[in-house]
Amino acid sequence: MPRKFTPKIITSNHLLRGDTIYLSPSGKWVDRFRQARVFTDETEATQALAAIDRQRNIHVGAYLADASVSKDGVPQPAHFREQFRDTGPSNYFHGKQAEV
Amino acid sequence: MNSIIVRDDGFHEDELSEAVFTSLETLKTGVEVPVYLHLENDEDPACLPLYFCWLRLIRIPFPDFADGRGFSLASAIRRLGYQGCLRARGHLIADQYRQARQSGFDEVEIGKGLAARQPERQWLVQLANNPGSYQDRLFGKRPVPAAPKSGHLRPELSPSSAGMPTV
Amino acid sequence: MYNYSEFDETFVRARVAEFRGQVERRISGALTEEEFKPLRLKNGLYLQLHAYMLRVAIPYGTLNSRQMRQLAMIADRWDKGYGHFTTRQNVQFNWPGLGDVPDILDALADVSMHAIQTSGNCIRNVTADHFAGAASDECEDPRPTAELLRQWSTDHPEFQYLPRKFKIAVTGSRADRAVTRAHDIGLRLITSEEEETGYQVLVGGGLGRTPMIAKIIRPFLPRQHLLPYIEAILRVYNLSGRRDNKYKARIKILVHETGLDELRSRIEAEFERRLADFAGVDQGVVAAIEEAFAAPAFVARPNNRHLDRLDADSNYREWVRTSLARHKRPDYGIVTVSLKRVGGTPGDATSVQMTALADLAEKYSHDELRVSHEQNIILPHVSRADIPAVYDGLRAAGLASANVGLISDIIACPGMDYCALATARSIPVAQDIARRFDELGLEKEIGPMKIKISGCINACGHHHVGHIGILGLDRAGVENYQITLGGDATDKAAIGRRAGPGFSAEALLPALERLVDRYLVERQDGSESFIDCYRRVGEAPFKSALYPGATQRRTRFRRRKRA
Ligand code: SF4
């Protein structure tokens, strides 16, 4: 039996701004985890990652991150590190959480 | 011809692309004519002064631009008194050209791919913007003469003029 | 204060211009990220979790009011109005954009500052005793040595691509406030039996995954041989340090694997060779450095106001007790300003606070400020007559916490709130501890205590040398905290021992409370500090306080066996 593939999203940091960005279903970079495209197929995920790796002067260090997906299909970070990247630091109201 | 040689006056074709390089091990067994030496970056240069007069050029590899052993090796070889041509070869980037020159290298051999991505101008600007070095200020300019331009190309170079060890 | 010479100025400006070009070439694609990364790191620029982070050097921790004001300006103009002072006498800005960094570097150069070699596999910002030039137990000011090393190591062509980062610390005092024993090279200014000043050279200290206390490689190095000797160490390290494994690449591993004696003889051989063509260091440069660190013009003044205030104001008394250290002149004092307000972020100062500190330094501390590795700010030369005024100024800026050296004076690295390498958060842990012991009103009772927290094994929060060290880890996707006990960062340097299994974030605070309670029970009297008590009674009582269940189980088992 093939091992179960945890759903993934693609995330990176913006080259100029440095902030966290996510690959959306339309192939654009967006700001929040919940807007990211969810990959449920491993091959598809790695192929997409390889493809955007070519846009090297837009972003830095893209990778696949685990997501847990709600019933209505919205992805949430599966690990606390991704949670913090998606919101911002806990000592100040800065970062994504402060952006409307 | 897969390499480009970077010197202070710009990019050059590699005149030594056909040349045969000798290893340190072979050098130690004795050679009969002046040779081009390939020194690995983990080899000990301490014995080199014995052979300086047999060397037309020393080439030191940079397997990765973040591996800085070659810089110390070049500096050590200069301190041993070598005055001939020192060549760095491999993955060095334009931003390291000044360090290479200051450590004692005369020239850098890079692949054509890198040369296309980092054209001549990006290498030469390294020297143009050189503000001088703290080390020269502290110790005075090092007594290392630059090698004669393309010195290794003169086949008539006789062992006695190739620079005997000074220490 | 060392001000840039014409050469420094030209050099730093050229470096900024060079970095500006490198940023442009990164954006255009001429440089790949792999190639750009070491270049940006050499200019102090990291890419962290939420943004870029710029680490600015404060060489040997010394700065003047103009420089501090400029940091405040940078925080306001290009960041979010604050800066974070680190354990390596640097200041970090957490939110700059890549395109703005060259401008920030130019603004730093305007006040003789830079971010050169604050990261990357090169010789990092040279640190020194934060009480340098002011301490009462000092044999000699370590800063001229540190400045000489700064100049020598800056853009050293041979040592920009070392196997790993390389940290040097210098002290001129017997009390080691610069943690020299936890550095790749530690230098201690000492006087020989012949009354000659020179250095005791230590090598191979470091925290991180394999913590080690540095060993003496040269008991006495004549002053004039400093640079050739250090160069010899670096050359041997550059050529033979390991490059196959990042965690084994520091010089401490080379010392460990090669053996101190063998390494010493290799270094001495290289040193001999280097001496052969060494004609001494340019005396003009040396003289300029020495002159820059001449003692300020101290003025003797009556200190009645200080004495009266001590009598009348108990808050002032409390603050003086924790914050004032002995100066080499009896009519002066060294003021440590706590950046550890209870509930705040250790090491953070707002731009308003930085400006207030600059004003106080200009008025009352001969225009000098220091940054300590304990993430506090020092006003090194305050006349006792001015101490009340300094206190009032600090209070107005929210900087008069009377907790220096106490349980809430915690060293904490940025951890997973900012750092891309982190495995857990450290700032909230520090905040919780400070708040809890403040609520309990126990801080004063507990007395001297060093808690140090790192958010990963890299140990930027020095947890190994905390009396209580806390290391944040990721255990199966949950933050988990490991406690070490008995570490010491001073001249009695010691690596703390792991107490046992880690604690969840919720269980950590109660565990620490049990630990502290046990200390209060075990200590002989109020004058025995936690670390002294720990050394006297050993780790057993503290372990059983941390893991009550475990001990019970073990005792029960033993009893059963006996029965
Ligand atoms: S100890 Fe780890 S988490 Fe903390 S600052 Fe250093 S690298 Fe980051």
Ligand 1 atom closest to the Cα of residue C419 is 8
Cβ pair C348, C341 in contact under 8 A: no
Does residue B124 sit within a domain?
A: yes
Ligand 1 atom closest to the Cα of residue C415 is 3
- Span from the CA of C460 to the centroid of ligand 1 (angstroms): 5
Ligand 1 and C233: CB distance under 6 A: no
pTM of the complete model beyond 0.90: yes
**What topology does CATH give the domain C304-396?**
Sulfite Reductase Hemoprotein; domain 2 (3.90.480)
In Å, how far from its chain's centre is CA B46? Answer: 17
Distance between CA A47 and CA B145 in Å, rounded?
54
Cβ pair C494, C487 in contact under 8 A: yes
**Which parts of chain C sit beneath pLDDT 70?**
550-563
- Span from the CA of C33 to the centroid of ligand 1 (angstroms): 22
Question: Are A and C close enough to touch, i.e. 3+ CB pairs under 8 angstroms?
Answer: yes
Distance between CA C512 and CA C416 in Å, rounded?
21
| CA dihedral of C370, C340, C349, C178, whole degrees rounded to 10 | 30
Mean pLDDT over each residue of chain B, to the nearest integer:
85
Residue of B nearest to C240 (CA): B42
- Span from the CA of C458 to the centroid of ligand 1 (angstroms): 6
Best of C413, C457, C482 for a ligand 1 pocket test (most atoms within 8 Å of beta carbon): C413
Q: How many residues does chain A have?
A: 100
Q: What is the mean pLDDT of residues B33-50?
A: 95
Establish, for the pair of chains B and C, how many residue pairs have beta carbons separated by less than 8 Å. 111
Best of C454, C464, C473 for a ligand 1 pocket test (most atoms within 8 Å of beta carbon): C454
Among the listed residues C170, C138, C146, the one whose alpha carbon sits nearest the alpha carbon of residue C2: C146
Whole-angstrom Cα Rg for chain B? 15
Q: What is the mean pLDDT of residues A7-35?
A: 96
B145 pLDDT more than 70: no
Distance between CA B137 and CA C152 in Å, rounded?
9
Ligand 1 and C461: CB distance under 6 A: yes
How far away is chain A from the Cα of C23, in angstroms, using its nearest Cα? Answer: 10
How open is the CA angle C347-A17-C35, to the nearest 5 degrees? 95
How far away is chain C from the Cα of A57, in angstroms, using its nearest Cα? Answer: 6
Does residue B164 sit within a domain?
A: no
Residue of B nearest to C37 (CA): B66
- Span from the CA of C118 to the centroid of ligand 1 (angstroms): 15
Does residue A17 sit within a domain?
A: yes
- Paired strand residues for A21: A12
- What residues does CATH 3.30.413.10 cover in chain C? 134-290, 411-553
- Span from the CA of C418 to the centroid of ligand 1 (angstroms): 9
Which CATH number belongs to the domain containing residue B52 in this structure? Answer: 3.20.20
Which distant-in-sequence residues (6+ apart) come within 8 Å of C102 by Cβ? C16, C19, C20, C23
Cβ pair C327, C321 in contact under 8 A: no
Distance between CA C15 and CA B133 in Å, rounded?
12
CA-closest residue to ligand 1 atom 5: C413
B155 pLDDT more than 60: no
- Span from the CA of C155 to the centroid of ligand 1 (angstroms): 26
Best of C246, C421, C474 for a ligand 1 pocket test (most atoms within 8 Å of beta carbon): C421
- Number of structural domains (chain B) is 1
Cβ pair B86, B105 in contact under 8 A: yes
Q: Which domain holds residue B57?
A: 3-157
How open is the CA angle C391-C395-C397, to the nearest 5 degrees? 120
Among the listed residues C48, C118, C122, C123, the one whose alpha carbon sits nearest the alpha carbon of residue C88: C118
- Number of structural domains (chain A) is 1
Cβ pair C251, C204 in contact under 8 A: yes
Cβ pair A37, A23 in contact under 8 A: yes
Residue of A nearest to C79 (CA): A94
pLDDT digits (tens, 9 = 90+) for C337-348: 999 999 999 999
Say whether B167 and C276 touch across the interface (CB within 8 A): yes
- What residues does CATH 3.90.480.20 cover in chain C? 6-109, 304-396
Q: According to the model, what pLDDT value does residue B150 have?
A: 44
How many C-beta atoms surround the C-beta of residue C122 within 10 A? 23
Reported as a pLDDT band with limits 50, 70 and 90, residue B131 is confident
B10 pLDDT more than 70: yes
Which residues in chain A (18-57) have CB-CB distances under 8 A to chain C?
A: 18-20, 56-57
Ligand 1 and C469: CB distance under 6 A: no
Instruction: State the best of A91, A93, A96, A99 to mutate against chain C, taking most chain C CBs within 10 Å.
Output: A91
Q: Which domain holds residue A90?
A: 8-99
Of A56, A79, A85, the CB nearest to C50: A85
**What topology does CATH give the domain C6-109?**
Sulfite Reductase Hemoprotein; domain 2 (3.90.480)
Best of C246, C458, C462, C474 for a ligand 1 pocket test (most atoms within 8 Å of beta carbon): C458
Q: Is B79 on the interface with C (CB under 8 A)?
A: yes
Q: According to the model, what pLDDT value does residue B163 have?
A: 38
Q: Is C22 on the interface with A (CB under 8 A)?
A: no
| CA dihedral of C313, C317, C320, C326, whole degrees rounded to 10 | 120
How open is the CA angle C236-C242-C246, to the nearest 5 degrees? 130
Say whether C17 and B129 touch across the interface (CB within 8 A): yes
Distance between CA C84 and CA C91 in Å, rounded?
5
Q: Which residue has the tokens 């060890």?
A: B165
C-chain residues within 8 Å CB-CB of A88?
50
HSE-CB at C8 with a 13 A cutoff on CA atoms is: 20
Ligand 1 atom closest to the Cα of residue C455 is 3
Reported as a pLDDT band with limits 50, 70 and 90, residue B151 is very low
Best of C164, C411, C460 for a ligand 1 pocket test (most atoms within 8 Å of beta carbon): C460
The amino acid at C9: E
Does residue B67 sit within a domain?
A: yes
Cβ pair C238, B69 in contact under 8 A: yes
DSSP 8-state secondary structure symbol assigned to residue A28: -
CATH code: domain C134-290 is: 3.30.413.10
Distance between CA C23 and CA B96 in Å, rounded?
16
The amino acid at C472: G
C-chain residues within 8 Å CB-CB of B130?
14
Instruction: State the best of B47, B48, B64, B71 to mutate against chain C, taking most chain C CBs within 10 Å.
Output: B71
Cβ pair C484, C472 in contact under 8 A: no
Does residue B163 sit within a domain?
A: no
Cβ pair C1, C66 in contact under 8 A: no
Q: Is C119 on the interface with A (CB under 8 A)?
A: no
HSE-CB at C144 with a 13 A cutoff on CA atoms is: 20
How many C-beta atoms surround the C-beta of residue A86 within 10 A? 23
Dig out the tokens for C50 from the structure. Answer: 């939420």
Say whether C159 and B71 touch across the interface (CB within 8 A): yes
Pinpoint the alpha helices (H) of C369-420: 387-396
Cβ pair C383, C301 in contact under 8 A: yes
- Span from the CA of C27 to the centroid of ligand 1 (angstroms): 28
Residue of C nearest to A94 (CA): C80
A-chain residues within 8 Å CB-CB of C80?
92, 94
In CATH terms, C411-553 corresponds, of 3.40.50.150, 3.40.50.300, 3.30.413.10, 3.30.70.360, to: 3.30.413.10
B-contacting chains (≥3 CB pairs under 8 Å): C
CA-closest residue to ligand 1 atom 2: C456
Say whether C160 and B68 touch across the interface (CB within 8 A): yes
Reported as a pLDDT band with limits 50, 70 and 90, residue B1 is low
- Span from the CA of C461 to the centroid of ligand 1 (angstroms): 7
Q: How many residues does chain B have?
A: 167
Of A15, A81, A92, the CB nearest to C98: A15
- Paired strand residues for C189: C199
Distance between CA C391 and CA C377 in Å, rounded?
14
pLDDT digits (tens, 9 = 90+) for C4-27: 999 999 999 999 999 999 999 999
A-contacting chains (≥3 CB pairs under 8 Å): C
Residue of C nearest to A86 (CA): C50
- Span from the CA of C470 to the centroid of ligand 1 (angstroms): 12
Distance between CA C416 and CA A77 in Å, rounded?
15
Q: According to the model, what pLDDT value does residue B127 have?
A: 87
Among the listed residues B120, B79, B147, B124, the one whose alpha carbon sits nearest the alpha carbon of residue C239: B79
DSSP 8-state secondary structure symbol assigned to residue C494: B
Of B73, B99, B131, the CB nearest to C11: B131
Say whether C157 and B79 touch across the interface (CB within 8 A): no
Distance between CA C443 and CA B48 in Å, rounded?
66
Cβ pair C110, C70 in contact under 8 A: yes
